[in-house]
Structure 1
Amino acid sequence: MTTRRRALGWLGAVGGLAVLPAAGFAGYLYADTGRSNVGELTFRNRLGIPPLLSPSVAADGVRRFRLTLAEGRTELLPGTTTRTWGANGPILGPTLRARRGDRVAVDVRNDLPETTSLHWHGMHLPARMDGGPHQPIEPGATWRPSWTIEQPAATLWYHPHLHRSTAAHVYRGVAGLFLVNDDPAVRLPEEYGVDDIPLIVQDRKIADDGTLDESDLAFGGLTITGLLGDKILVNGTYDPYVEVVTERIRLRLLNGCNARILYVGFTDDRRFSLVATDAGLLRTPQPLRRLLLSPGERAEVVVEFRGGEAVVLRSFPAPLGTNPIYARLAGGSDTLDLLKMTAATVLRPSAPVPAELTPVAPAPTATRAPPFRLEMGDFLLNGATMDAARIDRVVRAGSVEVWVIVNGQAIPHNFHVHGASFHVLDVDGAPPAVELRGAKDTVYVPPGSAVRLAVRFLDHSDARSPYMFHCHVLAHEDAGMMGQFLTVSAQDEPSVPGILDDSHTAHGG
Structure 2
Amino acid sequence: MVGRIEPNDENHHTDRTPGPPVSRRTMLTGVAGGVLLAGGVFSFAGGCLAESERDPRHDDRRHPAGREGTPPPRQPPAASPPVTHFSLPFRVPPVLQPTKDDSSGTYYSLTQKAATAEILPGLKTPIWGYDGIFPGPTIVGRTGRPVVITHHNKLTTPVSVHLHGGRTPPASDGYPTDLIQPDGSKVYTYPHDQRAATLWYHDHRLDFTAPQVYMGLAGFHLIHDPIEDALPLPKGEKDVPLLITDRLFEADGSMYYPSVDPTLKTPGIYPWAMNGQYGDTLLVNGVPWPVMRVSNTKYRFRILNASNARVYQMSLDPPPPQGAAHFVQVGSDGGLLATPVNLDRLVISPAERYDVVIDFGAYPVGTKVVLANNWTEKPVITELMRFDVVRSEKDDSSIPAQLSTVDLPDPNKAVRTRHFDFKRRSDGMWGINDLMFDENRISADPKLGSTEIWEFTSDIRHPVHLHLVHFSIISRSYPAMGPFDSGLKDTVHVRPGETVRVAATFNGWPGKYVFHCHNLEHEDMMMMANFQVT
Distance, in Å, in 2 between the alignment partners of 1:364 and 1:219 is: 41
Displacement of 1:91 after TM fit?
2.1
Distance, in Å, in 1 between the alignment partners of 2:477 and 2:138 is: 37
The equivalent of 1:352 in structure 2 is 398
Distance, in Å, in 2 between the alignment partners of 1:273 and 1:290 is: 10
Distance, in Å, in 1 between the alignment partners of 2:161 and 2:246 is: 21
Displacement of 1:134 after TM fit?
3.4
User: Does the aligned pair in 2 maintain the 1:44–1:241 contact within 8 Å?
Assistant: yes
- Tell me which amino acid in the other structure corresponds to 2:253: G
The equivalent of 1:13 in structure 2 is none
Matched, 1:309 2:340: no
1:51-97 Cα offsets, whole Å, 9 max, x none, are 11122445433100111111000111111101001111332211111
1:234-292 Cα offsets, whole Å, 9 max, x none, are 11112311111350001110000001111111121332101111111111111112111
Distance, in Å, in 1 between the alignment partners of 2:101 and 2:327 is: 41
> For 2:233, which of 180, 183, 188 is the aligned residue?
188
- Tell me which amino acid in the other structure corresponds to 2:97: S
Alignment map for 1:93-492 (pairs within 5 Å): 93-182=136-225, 183=227, 184-191=229-236, 194-215=237-258, 219-245=269-295, 247-270=297-320, 271-306=326-361, 307-317=365-375, 331=377, 334-365=380-411, 367-378=413-424, 379-407=430-458, 409=459, 411-428=460-477, 431-462=480-511, 466-488=512-534
The equivalent of 1:7 in structure 2 is 40
Number of residues of Structure 1 aligned to a counterpart in Structure 2: 446
Distance, in Å, in 2 between the alignment partners of 1:228 and 1:72 is: 23
SS at match of 2:214: helix
User: Does the aligned pair in 2 maintain the 1:232–1:238 contact within 8 Å?
Assistant: yes
Displacement of 1:33 after TM fit?
13
- Tell me which amino acid in the other structure corresponds to 2:518: H
Which ranges in structure 1 are unaligned for 5 or more consecutive residues? 10-31, 319-330, 489-509
Distance, in Å, in 1 between the alignment partners of 2:301 and 2:80 is: 23
**Change over 3 Å in CA distance of 1:344–1:122 after alignment to 2:** same
Distance, in Å, in 2 between the alignment partners of 1:181 and 1:224 is: 38
Displacement of 1:146 after TM fit?
1.2
- Tell me which amino acid in the other structure corresponds to 1:248: K
**Change over 3 Å in CA distance of 1:206–1:456 after alignment to 2:** same
RMSD: 2.4
User: Does the aligned pair in 2 maintain the 1:50–1:235 contact within 8 Å?
Assistant: yes
SS at match of 1:380: strand
SS at match of 1:138: coil
Displacement of 1:387 after TM fit?
0.6
SS at match of 1:128: helix
**Change over 3 Å in CA distance of 1:445–1:351 after alignment to 2:** same
The equivalent of 2:14 in structure 1 is none
Alignment map for 1:64-83 (pairs within 5 Å): 64-83=107-126
* Stretch of structure 1 that moved more, 121-130 or 349-358: 349-358
* Stretch of structure 1 that moved more, 144-153 or 68-77: 144-153
The equivalent of 1:321 in structure 2 is none
Distance, in Å, in 1 between the alignment partners of 2:453 and 2:411 is: 9
Displacement of 1:317 after TM fit?
1.8
User: Does the aligned pair in 2 maintain the 1:202–1:234 contact within 8 Å?
Assistant: yes
Distance, in Å, in 1 between the alignment partners of 2:116 and 2:178 is: 27
User: Does the aligned pair in 2 maintain the 1:363–1:425 contact within 8 Å?
Assistant: no
User: Does the aligned pair in 2 maintain the 1:216–1:226 contact within 8 Å?
Assistant: no
SS at match of 1:95: strand
- Structure 1: 4+ residue segments shifted above 4 A: 32-37, 216-219
* Stretch of structure 1 that moved more, 47-56 or 364-373: 364-373
Displacement of 1:468 after TM fit?
0.7
The equivalent of 1:63 in structure 2 is 106
User: Does the aligned pair in 1 maintain the 2:244–2:282 contact within 8 Å?
Assistant: yes
User: Does the aligned pair in 2 maintain the 1:8–1:222 contact within 8 Å?
Assistant: no
SS at match of 2:431: coil
- Tell me which amino acid in the other structure corresponds to 1:365: P
The equivalent of 2:20 in structure 1 is none
- Tell me which amino acid in the other structure corresponds to 2:431: L
> For 2:88, which of 33, 45, 56 is the aligned residue?
45
1:420-445 Cα offsets, whole Å, 9 max, x none, are 00000000176521101111000110
- Tell me which amino acid in the other structure corresponds to 1:262: Y
Displacement of 1:162 after TM fit?
0.6
- Tell me which amino acid in the other structure corresponds to 2:443: D
The equivalent of 1:14 in structure 2 is none
Which ranges in structure 2 are unaligned for 5 or more consecutive residues? 1-26, 28-34, 43-75, 261-267, 321-325, 425-429
User: Does the aligned pair in 2 maintain the 1:421–1:455 contact within 8 Å?
Assistant: yes
Distance, in Å, in 2 between the alignment partners of 1:425 and 1:163 is: 31
**Change over 3 Å in CA distance of 1:33–1:66 after alignment to 2:** closer
- Tell me which amino acid in the other structure corresponds to 1:186: L
**Change over 3 Å in CA distance of 1:6–1:308 after alignment to 2:** closer
Displacement of 1:361 after TM fit?
3.6
SS at match of 1:145: strand
SS at match of 2:195: coil
**Change over 3 Å in CA distance of 1:259–1:372 after alignment to 2:** same
User: Does the aligned pair in 2 maintain the 1:34–1:333 contact within 8 Å?
Assistant: no
Distance, in Å, in 1 between the alignment partners of 2:83 and 2:176 is: 40
- Tell me which amino acid in the other structure corresponds to 2:368: A
